[in-house]
Amino acid sequence: MTRFTAPIAEQIWDMKYRLKEADGTAIDLTVEDSWRRIARALAEVERSPSDWEGKFYSALEDFKFLPAGRITAGAGTARSVTLFNCFVMGTVPDNMGGIFDMLKEAALTMQQGGGIGYDFSTIRPRGADVKGVAADASGPLSFMDVWDAMCRTIMSAGSRRGAMMATMRCDHPDIEAFITAKEDPARLRNFNLSVLVTDPFMEAVKADGPWELIFDGKIYHTVQARDLWNKIMRATYDYAEPGVIFIDRINAMNNLNYCETIAATNPCGEQPLPPYGACLLGSINLARLVKDPFEGGADLDEDQLDDLVATAVRMMDNVVDASRFPLEAQAQEAQAKRRIGLGVTGLADALLMVGMRYGSEEAARQTERWLQRIARAAYLASVDLAKEKGAFPLFDADQFLASGHMGDMDDDVRASIAKHGVRNALLTSIAPTGTISLYAGNVSSGIEPVFAYSYTRKVLQKDGSRTEEEVVDYAVQMWREKFGDKDLPDYFVNAQTLAPLDHVRMQAAAQKWIDSSISKTINCPEDISFEAFKDVYMEAYETGCKGCTTYRPNDVTGSVLSVSEETEKAPEVDSGADVVYISEPLDRPQALEGNTYKLKWPDSEHAIYITVNDVVINGHRRPFEVFINSKNMEHFAWTVALTRMISAVFRRGGDVSFVVEELKAVFDPRGGAWMQGKYIPSILAAIGGVIERHLVTIGFIEGEGMGLKADPQAEAMAVGERPRGPACPSCGEFGMKMVEGCMTCPSCGHSKCG
């Protein structure tokens, strides 16, 4: 008997969490072995490990408590990895040496797989004086480009993909350039962007008042607050970025506002953190705790919930001591405050099981009750840990209890904290749980609605063939097992049919009892008006949310998969995709049209000649093959290899313009060169520029800097078939979907956020 309720769950475990030798030989033979490995590793921190290993194992068993992926994959492996998910790096100094010290620290953190956040508001704006060198500052965005290149370099070195969040205050003089930075789809690909919005700014927006853009006490510009707000809204309406973080609310509600100031978050926004702040994540699987699902008396087993929360808090507190850290400053910060981020997943499924429509006022009230119960149990468990092991080192009872969040806590919990202290400064957070939700049987992710009741995925078999299998939402599968083919009740709703303000209602209800923040995507229909779209953000602010992230499908962002509620068909997407994916390589015609370009790299004796030949399909030219020639024998091997690889990619079809972006991003550690007034980081980047120029000339891409016209959200389709959704850059399977702000592959679990 397997513990997995769906084939995809076992496949996710095998690919992501199962401990294996370097040659692929499995060490964890079963998922029970994985649970035992994690339980044993976290129990070793205890004075008497044998007293706790069994209880920890019981919490993990049957996917009731789901530690985040880094813990599940790394605990008990003796590998040099961090078990922490989230880092915000140190404050970026406004000087060249300090900036590049921060870059080094970021690289070391990402090398161990940590997602990082940075506030770039501390760097002087573009054009500001740089004393002592008679020059003007290049501004924070230029340094963000350097960070982006570093992230890409770490990825190309074979490490786990890292994700980054960049924030900038709404009063920084370069804020308008920050807002529009990702309108160029080839720029800042490895960053999520969010604007730090202050309460005075929101008041100025509502009053249509002036707003000063300031750095270091100097007023650079004065704009109308509402005009700036509209620019933020227009950018996210069209490009899905930047997000909005209500930073004053975050600091006012922070339990630690007496000893830290927050100016950045981790990549998905659920962890606002101070400089060098680190946090680990884990989720209670509410879908596993419902008694008598779909029956008249269905309800959450709250006694089991209390016990599970207490055990989870202890396990996560132990991770603080069991984990390695990329930087000593991160270790010290974690030990001083012992932050953890316990959240939930499977909320939407649990609501369905008790007969409630996600997004309704009734469901919002139930969500608030459940999360209050979790918060109460978590804080009481942390008080018990403080009695046994001591409060976190920076605990100050009076100041801690005076924070905005603790002011709403139950009186008996406040009294216990005042008397005994608390082990963990912050305890709750709702993280993106896309991959671990699949691992747990495709339960609904985090506090998101059910995305699709079912969809069909193609699975690559060992012999190279592909088979189809249905992936069914956990609650829908339970309904089928109980009632067979009986129609789903009216209260079953999914992300595509839900009104945006219903999303906001659920986020606001959850936020009341979450001391950190929430990763949540508010899906908006493509045809939502701009004014209604802005209302979503204003409602999020007015109802107490700490931030807001939306996703509106369009030609730029790509379409989100949708599914028919009545027929539960495989997911479909809009039929307007203009990219064709050719399932078999094209045969080469006898003759092709093309162009040859001469590239003279400075300090190189011989020029490089690049020939790009095109094929015509349905009256449109597209690249088919590349030849790179040079008399320089040092170039011979890599130019041949590059020729073959690029030509192979071109002949497969699809939106191959990513080749341009990848080439243009290659940095030569020996230095690049200035060509025609632009700095080119390597000879490979120069070749990428030549290919880009050719693709622009034939009309394959729109213009220089638009190298990823449709990637990664482009629809892809086999010739003669209906489009099936964006293709995964990791496994190539169709069906990428937006989950908690991250395009996520349901087949392999790949996510841009890691």
Q: Is the pLDDT of residue 169 over 90?
A: yes
- Burial (0-12, 13-18, 19+ Cβ within 10 Å), 337: buried
What's the mean pLDDT in 628-641? Answer: 79
Highest mean pLDDT among 244-253, 631-640, 722-731, 740-749: 244-253
In the predicted model, what is the mean pLDDT of residues 463-484? 86
* Of 425, 320, 308, residue with least CA distance to 417: 425
Residue 653 — very low, low, confident or very high, per pLDDT cuts 50/70/90?
low
Question: At 464, which amino acid appears?
Answer: G
Per-chain mean pLDDT for the chain = 86
Residue 249 token pair: 């609310």
Predicted local confidence at residue 718, as pLDDT: 27
Mean pLDDT over 626-641 rounds to 80
The verdict on whether omega for the bond into residue 242 sits within 30 degrees of 0, i.e. cis, is: yes
* pLDDT for 323 beyond 70: yes
Of the listed ranges 13-27, 488-502, 566-580, the least confidently predicted one is: 566-580
Query: Is residue 709 over pLDDT 70?
Result: no
Four-CA torsion 329, 331, 333, 338, nearest 10 degrees = 180
Weakest mean pLDDT among 92-101, 174-183, 416-425, 718-727? 718-727
- Say yes or no to pLDDT of 92 above 80: yes
Band of residue 575 on the pLDDT scale cut at 50, 70, 90: very low
Q: Per residue in 262-317, pLDDT tens?
A: 999 999 999 999 999 998 999 999 999 999 999 999 999 999 999 999 999 999 99
Which residue, among 521, 469, 497, 53, has the nearest Cα to 269 in the 3D structure? 521
pLDDT at 753 (0 to 100): 58
Give CA–CA dist 332/334, Å, rounded.
5
Q: What is the pLDDT of residue 561?
A: 43
Task: Indicate the range of 363-372, 493-502, 568-577 predicted with least confidence.
Answer: 568-577
Coil, strand or helix at 226? helix
Higher per-residue pLDDT: 319 or 591: 319
The three-class DSSP label of residue 703 is coil
Q: What is the dihedral of CA 394, 267, 19, 158, to 10 degrees?
A: -120
**Catalytic status, residue 270:** yes
Average pLDDT over residues 475-483: 95
pLDDT reading at 329 higher than 80: yes
Given a cut of 90, is residue 154 above it in pLDDT? no
User: What does R_g of the chain's alpha carbons equal in angstroms?
Assistant: 26
Cβ proximity of 184 and 706 under 8 Å: yes
For position 752, what pLDDT does the model report?
A: 57
What percentage of the chain carries pLDDT values higher than 90?
60
Q: Which residue has the tokens 């990219």?
A: 579
Q: What are phi and psi of 659, to 5 degrees?
A: -55, -40
In the chain, where are the structural domains located?
1-85+282-487, 93-98+114-264, 593-697
Q: What is the pLDDT of residue 645?
A: 85
Query: Position of tokens 């979450």?
Result: 514
What confidence score (pLDDT) does residue 104 get? 92
Mean pLDDT score, 338-355: 98
Of 424, 393, 289, the closest CA to residue 345 belongs to 289
328 is an active site residue: no
From the candidates 86, 151, 268, 728, give the one annotated as an active-site residue. Answer: 268
Cα 175 from Cα 221, distance rounded (Å) = 11
Q: Is the pLDDT of residue 635 over 50?
A: yes
pLDDT, tens digit, 9 for 90 and up, residues 22-33 = 888 999 999 999
Q: What is the mean pLDDT of residues 175-197?
A: 91
The confidence score (pLDDT) of residue 148 equals: 87
Q: Is the pLDDT of residue 657 over 50?
A: yes
pLDDT above 70: percentage of residues in the chain = 85
The predicted pLDDT at position 155 comes to 56
- Reported as a single tens digit per residue, the pLDDT across 617-633 is 767 788 888 988 887 77
Residue 452 confidence (pLDDT): 87
What's the pLDDT at 161?
Answer: 53
The CATH fold assigned to 1-85+282-487 is Anaerobic Ribonucleotide-triphosphate Reductase Large Chain (3.20.70)
Q: Around Cβ 681, how many Cβ atoms within 10 Å? A: 17
428 has pLDDT over 80: yes
User: Residue 606's CB: how many other CB atoms inside 10 A?
Assistant: 14
CB neighbours (10 Å) of residue 313? 25
State the DSSP string of 293-359. TTSTT-EE-HHHHHHHHHHHHHHHHHHHHH-B-SSHHHHHHHHHH---EEEEE-HHHHHHHTT--TT
Q: Are strands 218-224 and 210-215 parallel, antiparallel or unpaired?
A: antiparallel
pLDDT at 714: 26
pLDDT of residue 288: 97
Taking 70 as the threshold, does the pLDDT of residue 742 lie above it? no
Looking at 251-265, 468-482, 593-607, which range is the least confident one?
Answer: 593-607
Question: What was the pLDDT predicted at 18?
Answer: 95
Q: Read off the pLDDT band of 560 (50, 70, 90).
A: very low
Region 536-552 average pLDDT:
96
**Catalytic residue (choose from 85, 257, 266, 613):** 266
745 is known as an active-site residue: no
Has residue 563 got a pLDDT over 70?
Answer: no
**Which of 152-166, 488-502, 602-616 shows the lowest mean pLDDT across its residues?**
152-166
pLDDT band at 654 (very low <50, low <70, confident <90, very high): low
pLDDT (average), residues 548-559: 79
Which one of the listed residues 105, 260, 270, 625 is annotated catalytic? 270
pLDDT of residue 445: 95
Confidence check: pLDDT of 222 > 60:
yes
**Band of pLDDT at residue 740, cut at 50, 70 and 90:** low
